[in-house]
A and B are shown apart, each in its own frame.
Chain A
């Protein structure tokens, strides 16, 4: 086709890519045509029953029942022996880790973590880890934090054990990578709610089931980033190795893996982050820990739920900084130790472990508790050892303020929420739902063609049609309207803030913890205030999506702007361009592809939160999925999840632009 292909583009150093010229006009024309269709045939053609596979949900229900029957049968299939074996193993692993941390005593746990990080990651990271443990203790959530830590460690270990080998294969084989990509997409987009029940049937409840759910979500970034790392090893190095007669295995272990080390460690880091975002879901099926506190707290003590959410964020940030620091400090390409330095390092390692062993033994001898106690007793008095009540009091004060319909903030947020609903969400929903389905289908396909090319357009067409065939066209279009509004907001804020942060390192430093918080705080937690502040059912869901997606957009925009060759900027400045001119005429055009990637990733992130929207009143697909688990409408839940997946990939193809290979998602953190 005539559509420009990324590979053929001339490597002209600073010219903004020309492919964007004229496209906005074409897209606008298509949208206009769709609006004409809306005006003429409003509400006249809904998806016909004759084109719907009505029995699909029932068939899926049958599948689940069959699974249950197989599981309880007198002579279960040998397959179940494998599942049981894995269950026993995962359960053993989690319990062993948990027991080990308890056995270390709380003093020993702190000492061990801090000293290990101090030895391999430096004092900064060690300080963060120490602060994290101190906060778990002071929050009165020590036991739950340890349970979550054990669960997450097991899940991350197993995810890496599976993800890294697959990533290596994907890195070495293009066709394997292409084959596995849709599977990885599905694992990340299909909400855990949809497959929770089958997992419980197969693996029962408890740590094993929680580990499996977490793995499904955490394996994809491990695979993707590992593959990216392996591919990043320059062809020269590989060829050189071959030329010297290395076998394939030697090339892998002696050249590719060592050179990809930083990416491998990044994949550990991202796997941890993704795993932590499933803590709450894991709580629903017996994962225990902080997730439990969040879900049950929401009903009876929201302040406590928020406190537990904060503990999850602290854990995520501490693990992130610690693994990043360890990756940085132990990178052999940066710090190659020889001779004395190496011996000294060894001695320090030994000293670290000896110190840990000593502290643990002393702590146990002195009778330190296995979990941090709520109060310390001396002969005469009892001291409260946590500040949980104070913290809960503060959070409650904030909640009370937020709940007060006469508060100052409410006076701003309520009209904003109503405005969003009346002038953005409602009209867009009306257009998408009430325009004849074939016009929407044709319009979206045409937009995909204009922006991304022929093949993506065909994919989008097929997937959108599949949504209709599954019988969920209307809720899917309803969800799509919310997704589009949320994405538009996330992109608008993301680009603005991303530009600001790219121009000012100080802003970036201040933003970083905030962005980390937004990515790891369970959405159910930060959504609570918005239910009060913007009391319109679909708005809190949109807000949750925006808050979840905006960090990724910010990071991509920032990276894109930073990636603009300095020579281009210098040249423009030399010709007397002002800072604003440089930004508008040079940097932004050059960073366009990266910004489009931000749009695209924003959509994926927004879709990942659709279920949460269902829990706070967004209706449509999210509602169907939430009900699917809680009322055991398994089939409907799966259909809705598949629709989200189809919608996700379709919107991805519509907006992806002419990218060759998409490594995304995890690589942004």
Chain B
């Protein structure tokens, strides 16, 4: 009987201890954040920067932007940078709720601009990143060398059967882009009266798997693709010119989401201005990080170079960002307003 009580008491004591330790833990957690990387890092933190949360999108280009920004903010401003990885549309709500401060690469989600920037005012436009997106129809360079007439879409006409695969039947196969990207290829094929079957390969990694394999076999393939993209440094690709955007086609649209008459999409894709976006809370916080991110500008080459280092050569993203900053001091100084 006595032993049992003793055991009980010890059990209670032990549990209390664990709970108490836990409670203590919650209090002291903040000051023992793991020190990432272990060395080379920043100067003493400036009190007024604090933590900046930047969202990284799945593709490698976005990773490059984020880690360049991280290197600058951490080393030059002494901010703490947190990275979230929220998918494209939900991240707007995340900014509205102040959970994400900045998105550095937004490919013109105009519906969301209307909802969150115009109507609700919870997100602010941060202006162009400087990187210009370009979407088009691409083929491997070896195919272009053999068939120089593929330089324009007219050259494809009558040669579609070159692109036949088991799933396209007697038509040629056109490998469509990631369903989540802006596109109008089905409509274009119809408007241009080409004998292609539009085949969706799925999300980008799956689409890359498909065309890169045909590339390795040196087979013909035509697909939706875009720049800047680090894979463009790894594969030699050539673009098929689509009907130009003439004065008459001023109102030509790029996003066939709404459907309707294919003729209204009958032109090449326009250059996509890639925007930076900030949460309103962050923009009004007076953080020095906001001014720097607002001034931040990258070229397509900058982004592809860092993206290739990270995704192609498997360099640690932090290091890739820091390397780029070290090599481009002048550019970075301009962002910091030190010129």
Contact surface of A with B, Cβ cutoff 8 Å:
65, 68-69, 72, 96, 99-100, 102-103, 143, 196-197, 200-201, 204-206, 283-286, 288, 292, 295-296, 298-302, 343, 346-347, 349-350, 353-354, 356-357, 360, 369-371, 375, 403-405, 418, 421-422, 426, 528, 531-532, 535-538, 540, 614-619, 623, 626-627, 629-633
Closest chain A residue, CB of each to CB of B169:
A426
Contacting pair B209 A528 (CB below 8 A)? yes
Chain A positions within 8 Å of B203 at CB level: 298, 615-616, 626
Binding-face segment, B9-17, B71-79, B136-144, B281-289: B9-17
Q: Is B304 an interface residue (CB 8 A)?
A: no
Given contacts A631-B89, A632-B109, 12 further A-B contacts (CB under 8 A): A197-B89, A200-B90, A286-B94, A299-B311, A347-B3, A349-B11, A403-B212, A528-B209, A537-B202, A615-B202, A617-B207, A632-B111
10 closest Cβ contacts across the A-B interface?
A630-B180, A103-B25, A300-B311, A617-B202, A353-B14, A616-B202, A205-B94, A531-B209, A204-B97, A200-B90
Taking a contact as CB atoms under 8 Å apart, the answer to whether A295 and B58 are in contact is yes
Q: Is the CB of B205 within 8 A of A536?
A: no
Q: Is the CB of B205 within 8 A of A298?
A: yes
For B8, give the chain A residue with the smallest CB separation: A346
Bound-state CA distance A201–B97 (Å) is 9
Q: Chain B residues near A421 (CB, 8 Å)?
A: 166-167
- The docked-state distance in angstroms from the alpha carbon of A285 to that of B100 is 12
Q: Is A354 touching B10 in the complex (CB atoms < 8 A)? A: yes
Which residue of A100, A403, A528, A631 contacts B205 across the interface (Cβ within 8 Å)?
Answer: A528
Contact with A along B196-221 (1 / 0, CB 8 A): 00011111111101101110110000
Choose from B96, B112, B207 the contact partner of A72 (Cβ within 8 Å). Answer: B96
Contact assessment for A354 and B7 in the assembled complex, using a CB-CB cutoff below 8 Å: no
Query: Is residue B88 contacting chain A, with contact meaning CB distance below 8 A?
Result: yes
Contacts of A618 in B (CB 8 A): 202
A-B contact count (CB 8 A): 198
Say whether B180 contacts A285, CB under 8 Å.
no
- The answer to whether B99 touches A537, judged by C-beta atoms less than 8 angstroms apart, is no
Contacting residue for A205 out of B29, B58, B86, B205, CB 8 A: B86
Residue in B10, B111, B120, B310 whose CB lies within 8 Å of A300: B310
Identity of the chain B residue whose Cβ is nearest the Cβ of A281 in the assembled complex: B87
**Given A72-B122, A99-B25, A357-B17; A302-B205 close (CB under 8 Å):** yes
**A354 CB contacts on chain B under 8 angstroms:** 10, 14
Provide a sorted-by-A list of 5 A–B residue pairs whose CB atoms are within 8 angstroms: A103-B21, A205-B93, A356-B18, A536-B166, A540-B206
B60 at the interface (CB under 8 A from A): yes
Q: Are A350 and B209 interface neighbours, CB within 8 A?
A: no
CA distance A301 to B26 in the complex (A): 35
Q: A300-B60, A617-B199 are in contact. Are A531 and B90 (CB under 8 A)?
A: no
Q: Is B63 an interface residue (CB 8 A)?
A: yes
B226 within 8 A of A: no
Q: A102-B29, A370-B34 are in contact. Are A301 and B90 (CB under 8 A)?
A: no
A632 touches B89 (CB 8 A): yes
What CA separation (Å) do A617 and B25 show in the bound complex? Answer: 48
Q: A49 CA to B307 CA in the complex, in Å?
A: 48
The residue from B60, B209, B314 contacting A535, defined by CB atoms under 8 A apart: B209
Q: Which of B17-46 contact A (CB under 8 A)?
A: 17-18, 21-22, 25-26, 29, 32, 34, 38
Within 8 A of A (CB), among B164-216: 165-167, 179-180, 199-207, 209-210, 212-214, 216
Contacts of B214 in A (CB 8 A): 535
- A205 engages B112 (CB within 8 Å): no
Interface majority SS on A: helix, strand, loop or mixed? helix
List the interface of chain B (C-beta within 8 A of A): 3-4, 7-8, 10-11, 14-15, 17-18, 21-22, 25-26, 29, 32, 34, 38, 56, 58-60, 63, 84-91, 93-94, 96-97, 99-100, 109, 111-112, 115, 119-120, 122, 165-167, 179-180, 199-207, 209-210, 212-214, 216-217, 257, 307, 310-311, 314
Bound-state CA distance A206–B55 (Å) is: 12
Say whether A299 contacts B21, CB under 8 Å.
no
Q: What distance in Å separates the Cβ of B26 from its nearest Cβ neighbour in chain A?
A: 6
Across the interface, which residues of A come within 8 angstroms of B56, CB to CB?
296
Closest to B198 in A: A619
Pairwise interchain contact B205-A632, C-beta atoms closer than 8 A? no
Contact B166 A418 (CB under 8 A): yes
Contact B10 A196 (CB under 8 A): no
* Residue contact A536 to B167, C-beta cutoff 8 Å: yes
Out of B7, B93, B96, name the residue touching A350 (CB < 8 Å). B7
CA distance A264 to B71 in the complex (A): 51
B3 adjacent to A343 (CB under 8 Å):
yes
Quote the shortest CB–CB distance from B189 to chain A (angstroms): 15
Given A99-B25, A299-B58, A617-B206, check contact A197 B213 (CB 8 Å). no
The reply to whether A538 and B88 form a contact with Cβ atoms under 8 Å apart is no
- The closest CB in chain A to the CB of B24 belongs to A103
Contact B89–A531 (Cβ < 8 Å)? no
Q: How far does the alpha carbon of A69 sit from the alpha carbon of B120 in the complex, in Å?
A: 8
Determine how close the nearest CB of chain A comes to the CB of B144; give it in whole angstroms.
21
B86 proximity list for chain A (CB < 8 A): 205, 284-286
Out of B93, B201, B205, name the residue touching A299 (CB < 8 Å).
Answer: B205
Measured CB to CB, the nearest residue on chain B to A349 is B11
Q: Is the CB of A285 within 8 A of B18?
A: no
- The reply to whether A629 and B87 contact each other, CB–CB distance below 8 Å, is yes
Alpha-carbon gap, A360 to B109, bound state (A): 49
Chain B residues within an 8 Å CB radius of A283: 85
- Interfacial chain B residues near A617, Cβ < 8 Å: 199-202, 206-207, 210
Given A204-B99, A418-B166: A532 and B15 interface contact (C-beta under 8 Å):
no
Separation of A204 and B32 alpha carbons in the complex (Å) = 27
Q: Which of the residues B29, B63, B206 comes within 8 Å of A615, measured between beta carbons?
A: B206
Residues from chain A with a CB closer than 8 A to the CB of B85 are 283, 286, 288, 292, 295-296
- A204 is contacted by which of B38, B89, B94, B112 (Cβ under 8 Å)? B94
Give the contacting residue for B25; candidates A100, A206, A284, A403; CB below 8 A. Answer: A100
Cβ–Cβ < 8 Å partners of B89 in chain A: 197, 629-632
Residues of chain A with a CB closer than 8 A to B307's CB: 300
- Docked-complex contact A299 and B60, CB < 8 angstroms: yes
Could you tell me the distance between the alpha carbons of A303 and B334 in the complex, rounded to whole angstroms? 38
Among candidates B3, B99, B209, residue contacting A532 with C-beta atoms closer than 8 Å: B209
Nearest CB on B from A297, distance (A): 9
Q: Known contacts A302-B205, A537-B199: does B59 contact A205 (CB below 8 Å)?
A: no
Residue of A nearest to B34 (CB): A371
By a CB distance below 8 angstroms, the chain B residues around A299 are 58-60, 204-205, 311
Whether B90 lies near A537 (C-beta < 8 A) is no
Contact, CB under 8 Å: B94 / A537: no
Chain B: which residue is nearest A410 at the CB level? B213
Contact of A537 among B26, B115, B201, B212 (CB under 8 A): B201
- Residues from chain A with a CB closer than 8 A to the CB of B60 are 299-300
Contacts of A100 in B (CB 8 A): 22, 25
Residues of B within 8 A of A284 (CB): 86-87, 90
Most chain A CB inside 10 Å of its own CB: which residue of B210, B216, B307: B210
CA gap between A346 and B18 in the complex, in Å = 18
A162 to B34 CA separation, bound complex (whole angstroms): 36
Min CB distance A291 to B, Å, is 9
Query: Which single residue of chain B is at the shortest CB-CB distance from A285?
Result: B90
How far is A479 from B183 in the complex, measured between Cα atoms in Å? 23
Chain A residue numbers with a CB within 8 Å of B14 are 350, 353-354, 357
Contacts of A528 in B (CB 8 A): 205, 209
Q: How far apart are the CA atoms of A68 and B111 in the complex, in Å? A: 13
Chain B min CB distance to A561 (Å): 38
Distance A292 CA – B83 CA, assembled complex (angstroms) = 11
Which B residues are CB-close (under 8 A) to A405?
213, 216-217
Chain B residues, CB < 8 A from A295? 58, 85, 87
B10–A350 touching, CB < 8 Å: yes
Evaluate contact between B200 and A623: CB separation under 8 angstroms.
yes
Contacts of B10 in A (CB 8 A): 350, 354
When distances are taken between beta carbons in the complex, the residues of chain B under 8 Å from A143 are 34
B310: A residues at CB distance < 8 A = 300
Question: Which residues of the partner chain B approach A535 to less than 8 Å between Cβ atoms?
Answer: 209-210, 213-214
